[in-house]
Amino acid sequence: MFRNMYDTDVTVWSPEGRLLQVEYAMESVKQGSACIALRSSTHSVIGALKRSVSELSAHQQKILEIDDHLGIGIAGLTADARTLAKWMRNECLNHKYVYGTALPSGRLVTDLADRHQRTTQSYVRRPYGVGLLVASFDKNGPHVYQTCPSGNVYECYATAIGARSQSGRTYLEKYCDSFEECSKDDLIMHALKALVGCVSGDGELTRENGSVAIVGKDQKFTLIEGEELQPYLDRLELEGGNNGGNADEEEEDDGEAEEMET
């Protein structure tokens, strides 16, 4: 049986019990530039690599603020991420208007997963081609969530998505036990060290292609990039951690002709 007999519509099952269009959407997340997230007992941090289309263009924004207590990192189609971010902001505003308090992050992420899932069950819409890492802080403490186009959602201690993210995941798994007691600055340094392994080729993590955001106890969601990120990169250089892409990173097709705008 030919694969292309069953991938023309998102609602058509293959004989193996797979929804191929949904799997294709999940592949677009793997082509996006890397994004990582981790948390301690008091803070959550998102780190992301920004990508520019050419040397003449600015770098694409990878971390978006949703509310004072919540933000997202994206890997995949940026246009889809903007649509979801707009919906999430409206949900937070509506909840704050009605109840006078911030929307619990668990409820928002569950509704977000339901929104993803509805597109996999109707032929009139395609799945969202973007994966999100959600970092938040509420009355229950800091949280990190991962969503994907299939509608699945996971709460994590630390995670990484996007191209060459396996190297970042390996670093996070190695030091995961130490994150719980980390200070705010140490948590940001761990995020940058995990990102270093996701940089392609002989490139380096710089203030132009790197960005970090933090949220936590007595700390509103704050984006750190450009000049504000430089002190952390200087510290990373002193510790010998900014060595560009790792040779033992996951085996991926780095020679993709044209990657989607992610």
- Specify the amino acid at residue 114: D
pLDDT band at 157 (very low <50, low <70, confident <90, very high): very high
Cβ atoms of residues 101 and 95 within 8 Å: yes
Name the more confident of 39 and 125.
39
Q: What is the mean pLDDT of the chain?
A: 88
pTM of the model: 0.87
Contacts of residue 4, defined as CB under 8 A and 6 or more positions apart, other chains included, come to none
Whether residue 252 is predicted with pLDDT greater than 70 in this model: the reply is: no
Summarised one tens digit per residue, pLDDT across range 3-60 is 678 888 888 888 888 888 899 999 999 999 999 999 999 999 999 999 888 888 888 8
Is pLDDT at 71 greater than 70 in this prediction? yes
Give the pLDDT band (50/70/90) at residue 191: very high
Q: Please write down the HEC assignment for all residues of the chain.
A: CCHHHCCCCCCCCCCCCCCHHHHHHHHHHHHCCCEEEEECCCEEEEEEECCCCCCCCCCCCCEEEEECCEEEEEEECHHHHHHHHHHHHHHHHHHHHHHCCCCCHHHHHHHHHHHHHHCCCCCCCCCCCEEEEEEEEECCEEEEEEECCCCCEEECCEEEECCCHHHHHHHHHHHHHHHHHCCHHHHHHHHHHHHHCCCCCCCCCCCCCEEEEEEECCEEEEEECHHHCHHHHHHHHHCCCCCCCCCCCCCCCCCCCCCCCC
pLDDT for position 113: 94
| Closest by Cα among 259, 32, 67 to 160 | 32
Q: How much is the pLDDT for 9?
A: 81
- pLDDT at residue 216 is higher than 50: yes
pLDDT at 254 over 80: no
Distance CA 232, CA 188 (A): 8
Mean pLDDT across 220-224? 95
